[in-house]
C-alpha cells in the first residue's frame, strides 16, 4: 500500500505533532504533506525533509513564521495536493488537513484533534481577544471564518472514518459534523518522565502563553497566596502580561528544554492546569512523574485526572474557584500517593496508542477493500 500522511502544519512540536510523530513511527515509508513546515522542527521530530511536501504557503513572504496570516488560503492550499497515487490517506487535523481531496477508491482516515476551534467553539473569544468585534477588518475576518465553517462541514464528507482524542472531542464532532468517531487516546511518552515521590516546596504550570490556556488566571491566584511558590514554564504572546501579573512568590522561567521541564514537573508539589483543553497531554506527563494535578474540571482533563485520587478540580475559570481548589489540595495533600498517580498515567503509554491505531486502520482498510 502507498500511504500519505497529512498534517496541518509542522512548525512547532506540540501535542498534535507528537501524535503525528507516533503515526509516522507506524508508517515510516509514508510520504508527508503539510501546509508549511519548519526544518528545525522536522529535525527535532526526526523526520527527513526529503519525505515532506509543503503547500505554496511555504513559499509566500514570511510563510514559515506568519502562516496564520494566510488563513484565507488554507483551504485552497490543502486541496492543491494531488494524492491520487496513494491507497491510504491518514490526516492529523485540527484545522484543514482533513479536507484533502481523495477519490472513491482510496481510504481516508482522520485523527481529529478538534473541529476548528477559532471557527466554532472559540469564535467569539477569538474575535474579542484579537480586537475584531468591530470595524472593516472585523467584517473581513468574520466573512472568511463564515466561509471556513461551510467548507469545514463539507470537508468532513471526504473522510471515511474519524478517530478522535477524547470523548469530549467525540461529542463535539457529533455536534458540529454529525459524524461518529472512535476514541483513541493520544500517546504519551510516560517512560521518559522521572518518577519522584518526595516533592519540593513549589507548584508548577507549563503551557504556551496564549489566552485560552488561562495562565494569567493561575498567576493571579498565586499572587494572592504569597506563602505558596509557583513556577511558570512556557513562552508566547502573553509573556509580558504574565510578568506584570506575577509577584515575588512566582518564578517566570520562560521556554525550557525537555530535561528542565521533566525535572521541574517531577519535583513539584502539584501541577496546575486552567485550560479547557481538548485532551491535554502535559497533565499526564506530570502524573507520570507522580505529581498530582489541580485542573479546571472541563474538557479532556475529566478523562485523564481522577478526582481526589490523582488530583482535584475547580468548577469555574475564576480566581475564587481556583483558590478554593488549591486550598482543598493543601488540606488533602497527604492523601495523594505518587505511585497511584504514576499508575494512572500508564494508561496512556505510546504502545497502547500504536496498537489501537494500527488495529483500527487495518480493520477499516480491509472493510472498504471488501466492499
> What confidence score (pLDDT) does residue 343 get?
96
pLDDT tier, 185 (very low <50, low <70, confident <90, very high otherwise): very high
The predicted structure's pLDDT at residue 127: 81
The β-bridge relationship of strands 270-273 and 293-296 is parallel
CATH code that applies to domain 190-347: 3.40.50.2000
Please give the average per-residue pLDDT across 210-231, as a whole number: 95
For residue 268, pLDDT beyond 80: yes
Q: What is the CA radius of gyration of the chain?
A: 21
C-alpha cell of residue 272: 496546575
The three three-digit cell numbers of residue 123, written as one number = 469564535
**Res. 252 pLDDT band, cuts 50 70 90:** very high
The C-alpha atoms of residue 293 and residue 279 are separated, in whole angstroms, by 14
Domain 3-187+350-369 has CATH 3.40.50: yes
Question: From CA 319, how far away is CA 325, in angstroms rounded?
Answer: 10
- Predicted pLDDT at 130: 74
Measured between alpha carbons, how far is 256 from 234 in angstroms, rounded to an integer?
7
What would the pLDDT profile of 305-324 be if each residue is shown by its tens digit? 999 999 999 999 999 999 99
pLDDT tier, 68 (very low <50, low <70, confident <90, very high otherwise) = confident
> Rounded to whole angstroms, how far apart are CA atoms 271 and 273?
7
* Domain ranges (residues) in the chain: 3-187+350-369, 190-347
Residue 371 pLDDT grade (very low, low, confident, very high; cuts 50, 70, 90):
low
pLDDT in tens, 124-176: 877 887 788 888 888 988 999 999 999 999 999 999 999 999 999 999 999 99
Is 190-347 the same fold as 3-187+350-369? yes
Quick: pLDDT tens for 194-206. 999 999 999 999 9
At a CB cut-off of 8 Å and minimum separation 6, what does 85 contact?
2
Amino acid at each position: 500500500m502507498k500511504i500519505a500522511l497529512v498534517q496541518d502544519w509542522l512548525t512547532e512540536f506540540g501535542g498534535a505533532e507528537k501524535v503525528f510523530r507516533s503515526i509516522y513511527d507506524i508508517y515510516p515509508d509514508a510520504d508527508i504533506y503539510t501546509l508549511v513546515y519548519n526544518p528545525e522542527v522536522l529535525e527535532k521530530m526526526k523526520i527527513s525533509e526529503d519525505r515532506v511536501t509543503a503547500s505554496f504557503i511555504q513559499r509566500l513572504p514570511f510563510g514559515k513564521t506568519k502562516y496564520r496570516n494566510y488563513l484565507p488560503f488554507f483551504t485552497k492550499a490543502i486541496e492543491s495536493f494531488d494524492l491520487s497515487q496513494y491507497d491510504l490517506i491518514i490526516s492529523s487535523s485540527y484545522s484543514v488537513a482533513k479536507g484533502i481531496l481523495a477519490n472513491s477508491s482510496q481510504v481516508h482516515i482522520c485523527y481529529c484533534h478538534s473541529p476548528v476551534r477559532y471557527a466554532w467553539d472559540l469564535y467569539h473569544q477569538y474575535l474579542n481577544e484579537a480586537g475584531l468585534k468591530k470595524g472593516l477588518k472585523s467584517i473581513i475576518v468574520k466573512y472568511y471564518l463564515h466561509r471556513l465553517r461551510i467548507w469545514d462541514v463539507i470537508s468532513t464528507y471526504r473522510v471515511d472514518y474519524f478517530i478522535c482524542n477524547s470523548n469530549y472531542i467525540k461529542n463535539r464532532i457529533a455536534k458540529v459534523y454529525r459524524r461518529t468517531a472512535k476514541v483513541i487516546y493520544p500517546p504519551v511518552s510516560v517512560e521518559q518522565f522521572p518518577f519522584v515521590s518526595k516533592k519540593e516546596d513549589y507548584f508548577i504550570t507549563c503551557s504556551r502563553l496564549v489566552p485560552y490556556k488561562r495562565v494569567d488566571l493561575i498567576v493571579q491566584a498565586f499572587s494572592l497566596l504569597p506563602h505558596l511558590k509557583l513556577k511558570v514554564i512556557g513562552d508566547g504572546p502573553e509573556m509580558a502580561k504574565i510578568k506584570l501579573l506575577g509577584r515575588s512568590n512566582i518564578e517566570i522561567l520562560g521556554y525550557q528544554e525537555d530535561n528542565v521541564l521533566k525535572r521541574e514537573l517531577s519535583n513539584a508539589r502539584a501541577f496546575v492546569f486552567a485550560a479547557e483543553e481538548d485532551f491535554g497531554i502535559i497533565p499526564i506527563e506530570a502524573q507520570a512523574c507522580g505529581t498530582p494535578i489541580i485542573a479546571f474540571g472541563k474538557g479532556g482533563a475529566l478523562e485523564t485526572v481522577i478526582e481526589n485520587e490523582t488530583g482535584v478540580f475547580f468548577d469555574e475559570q475564576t480566581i475564587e474557584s481556583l483558590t478554593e481548589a488549591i486550598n482543598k489540595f493543601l488540606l488533602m495533600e497527604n492523601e495523594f500517593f505518587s505511585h497511584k498517580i504514576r499508575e494512572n498515567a500508564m494508561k496512556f503509554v505510546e504502545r497502547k496508542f500504536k496498537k489501537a491505531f494500527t488495529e483500527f486502520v487495518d480493520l477499516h482498510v480491509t472493510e472498504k477493500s471488501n466492499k
